[in-house]
Amino acid sequence: MTNNAEQLITNIEAMQVKGAYLITRVALEALTLRAKEATDRAEPLPDVLATAAKRLQTAQPSMASVANACAYVLYPFTEPQTASLSAQEVQQLIATRSREFLLGLEEAQQRVVEVGSRVVRDGDVIFIHSYTGTLLGIFKRAREAGKHFRIIATESRPYCEGRTMVAELLELGIDCTLIIDAAIGSYLNGANKALVGSDSILANGSVVNKIGTQLVALTCHHYGLPLYAAGSILKLSLESLQGTEVKLLERTDDAGIATEELSKNRGLQVENRIFDLTPAQYIEALITDKGIMSPAAIVTFLDNPFFEGRTHGA
């Protein structure tokens, strides 16, 4: 693990950290380190931390857990009484609240894994899309319980996180079939269910996830297969409660369509969107730390302590 906040933030910006759960953990580590660095350099802590939080949220605008983590850690600084705290006290407060959120995130993650492992049945053929640490945990737990099942996984372009996912599943002794994204329609009817992760869960139960998830959902609907989306309550987008749309991240690098090669083509617009939105109506159920629930039930859990100060009047 690096001891440099800038490197951690840069790694997130460059998408070198994969999976919403791990990205949120690294974001919290970055905020804690940035607070220590600012204290050592006698920099203005509130401004420095606000800048770091903005960079983290800008880097991953489709991941509600990153926004929720940053908001929880920085929430005390919206209160006037914190203005009198020393730099060391501010640093300690940041470290404490980061640990609190991280502990809550880890506990929620373990509950999601436990609930999700019960969705996996012996003999299942499960279709998945993209790299998802939550699903990796679910499948590991199901395998430890003695269940035998097979995975059909997409490459998940751009970035091909599906290849990484398959490599880790094979190490767990889980048989996999890897396909190109364009083959979703041809292979999904060979599965009996689909499981995906969720980078954000909207107030209406819709899910933001890696681009292509919506296509998986529509294909599941066509074949009459259940689609489950896994993620803790901490991935609830509080902004969506006020009707704000979750930004679907786009990238300009060469992992998608290389725009520089096509820049001279007049009238051509290139879009490299990385995430998409799957409407709640195509999701059988959400696998959460509160159990299996219908997508519409997500808004009944706004009393989560880690949403402190952000749901009043919602």
Residues 203-245 pLDDT 10s: 999 999 999 999 999 999 999 999 999 999 999 999 888 777 7
Map residue 275 onto helix, strand or coil: strand
Q: What is the domain partition of the chain in residue ranges?
A: 5-111, 119-301
Q: Tell me the backbone φ, ψ of residue 125, rounded to 5 degrees.
A: -120, 115
pLDDT band for position 313 (50/70/90)? very low
pLDDT band for position 314 (50/70/90)? very low
pLDDT band for position 273 (50/70/90)? confident
The tens digit of pLDDT for each residue in 77-103 reads 776 666 667 778 878 888 899 999 999
Q: Provide the 10 A C-beta neighbour count for residue 117.
A: 19
Percentage of the chain modeled with pLDDT above 70? 90
Q: 119-301 falls under which CATH superfamily?
A: Translation initiation factor eif-2b; domain 2 (3.40.50.10470)
What is the chain's Cα-based Rg?
Answer: 20
Of residues 40, 29, 30, the one with CA closest to residue 87: 40
The answer to whether the 5-111 and 119-301 domains have the same CATH topology is: no
The tens digit of pLDDT for each residue in 163-211 reads 999 999 999 999 999 999 999 999 999 999 999 999 999 999 999 999 9
Query: Within the chain, how many helices (H) and strands (E) appear?
Result: 10, 10
Helices (H), the chain: 5-13, 20-40, 45-59, 64-74, 87-117, 133-144, 161-171, 184-187, 213-223, 259-262
**What per-residue confidence (pLDDT) applies to 254?**
58
Contact 214, 276 (CB under 8 A): yes
**Residue 257, pLDDT above cutoff 70:** no
Of residues 282, 118, 124, 142, the one with CA closest to residue 192: 124
pLDDT band for position 2 (50/70/90)? low
Order of strands, sheet of 125-128, starting from the edge strand that comes earlier in the sequence? 175-179, 150-154, 125-128, 193-197, 227-230, 285-288, 291-293
Contact 22, 161 (CB under 8 A): no
The CATH code of the domain at 5-111 is 1.20.120.420
Contact 49, 64 (CB under 8 A): no
Residues 6+ apart with CB under 8 A from 283: 205, 206, 207, 217, 227, 228, 229, 295
The CA distances from residue 9 to 15, 47, 207, in Å, are 10, 16, 25
Percentage of the chain modeled with pLDDT above 90? 62
Contact 85, 77 (CB under 8 A): no
Catalytic residues: 199
The DSSP 8-state label assigned to residue 273 in this structure reads: B
What is the dihedral angle through the alpha carbons of 157, 159, 165, 167, rounded to the nearest 10 degrees?
Answer: 110
* pLDDT (mean) for 70-82: 80
